[in-house]
Amino acid sequence: MELQERLNEVRSHIAAAERRAGRAAGSVQLVAVSKTFDADQIRPAISAGQRVFGENRVQESQGKWPELKAETPGIELHLIGPLQSNKAADAVALFDVIETIDREKIAHAIADEMKRQGKSLQLYVQVNTGLEPQKAGIAPDDTVAFVDLCRKELGLSIEGLMCIPPAEENPGPHFALLAKLAKQAGVEKLSMGMSSDYETAVAFGATSVRVGSAIFGAR
Ligand SMILES: *Cc1c(COP(=O)(O)O)cnc(C)c1O
């Protein structure tokens, strides 16, 4: 199957999941995760009308996205991987959305850089819903207080929450927990669901899904 067919298939699965969940058509944004694929492999997705992309590494993204963004206006690039504070300046310069704010130090670094560069990015807090030691993200119990701190002390506007459920578990309870925390913290957006579970995520209220291999193929 060609990339364009796979992309259309994912789009129609999202539309069907929206209908089944009684949600408005187009209420779920598709973030096409292009990590490990180079500019030539990403261009067909842009030609097919895709404008929102996700990458998990700052340095890898710097090798392809300045060029791709210059070619096509209206690209929205999401950082969905862990961020080190020494990469904050580069991340703020290149990305439009950072989904992985998960500790005070990085929140400070991003706030400082946005001020310095005169840029305002959309920000999400990443939640480690499975409390996995190897995974980034703030603990569920600390999420509401952390969102408050980002808003009140750092002046950041946090628009959403993001999670990556444990690979071997049923994702539903993790999506439900993220939705509950978002309500408690007063944030609107929910970034959840990947190739294997994005339709489930739509049923649980995802406002964006991050889909890589189902569009670009195996990595
Ligand atoms: C790679 C990645 C995805 C996409 O995963 P697929 O299983 O290829 O769809 C989604 N979210 C994050 C944070 C990722 O790193």
Cβ-Cβ contacts under 8 Å for 145 (sequence gap 6 or more): none
φ, ψ of residue 176 in degrees (nearest 5): -65, -40
134 close to 172: Cβ distance less than 8 angstroms: no
pLDDT value of position 157: 94
Determine the Cα–Cα distance for residues 73 and 105; give it in Å rounded to an integer: 32
Structure tokens at 93: 């310069």
Query: Cβ(23) to ligand 1 under 6 A?
Result: no
CA dist list (Å): 198 to 163, 192, 204, 211: 12, 7, 10, 8
pLDDT value of position 1: 74
| Helices 143-152 and 104-117, axial angle in degrees (round to 10) | 30
pTM for this prediction: 0.97
Query: Other C-beta atoms within 10 Å of 218: how many?
Result: 7
pLDDT value of position 180: 98
pLDDT value of position 6: 98
Query: Cβ(212) to ligand 1 under 6 A?
Result: yes
Residuewise pLDDT in 10s, the chain (219 residues): 799 999 999 999 999 999 999 999 999 999 999 999 999 999 999 999 999 999 999 999 999 999 999 999 999 999 999 999 999 999 999 999 999 999 999 999 999 999 999 999 999 999 999 999 999 999 999 999 999 999 999 999 999 999 999 999 999 999 999 999 999 999 999 999 999 999 999 999 999 999 999 999 999
pLDDT value of position 127: 98
Query: Cβ(203) to ligand 1 under 6 A?
Result: no
For ligand 1, the distance from its centroid to the CA atom of residue 116, given in whole angstroms, is 31
Query: Cβ(213) to ligand 1 under 6 A?
Result: yes
97 close to 61: Cβ distance less than 8 angstroms: no
| Ligand 1 nearest-atom number relative to CA 195 | 9
